[in-house]
Amino acid sequence: RKLITALAGLVTSAAPEIGSQHAGPLRDGLRSLQLAFREESVIPDAPGKGPGEKYTGAVN
C-alpha cells in the first residue's frame, strides 16, 4: 500500500517535468499495479480509497 501510494505521488508530481510521452506509460503501469492490488486484496477498498488513488483518482 505505502509503496503504491509513494509511486503514485512520484508519477503524478514528475509528469510535468518528464512530459506526457514518458508519463503515459508510467501511469499505465501504475494503473495496472493498482488494479492488480485491488483484485488480490482480501479486504476491498471503497472506490477512490485504494492505494495511490489519493493522487490518481479512482481506478476501475
pLDDT tens for 8-39 read 999 999 999 999 899 999 999 999 999 999 99
Task: From 49, 45, 23, 41, select the one nearest 7 (Cα to Cα).
Answer: 23
Residue 52 DSSP SS3: coil
Residue 43 DSSP SS3: coil
- Residue 51, in any domain of the structure: yes
Q: Which three cell numbers stand for residue 11?
A: 508519477
Residue 51: what are its φ and ψ, rounded to 5°?
Answer: -60, 130
Residue-number span of the structural domain to which 8 is assigned: 2-55
> What is the domain count for the chain?
1
Reported pTM: 0.88
- Residue 42, in any domain of the structure: yes
- Residue 60, in any domain of the structure: no
Residue 47 DSSP SS3: coil
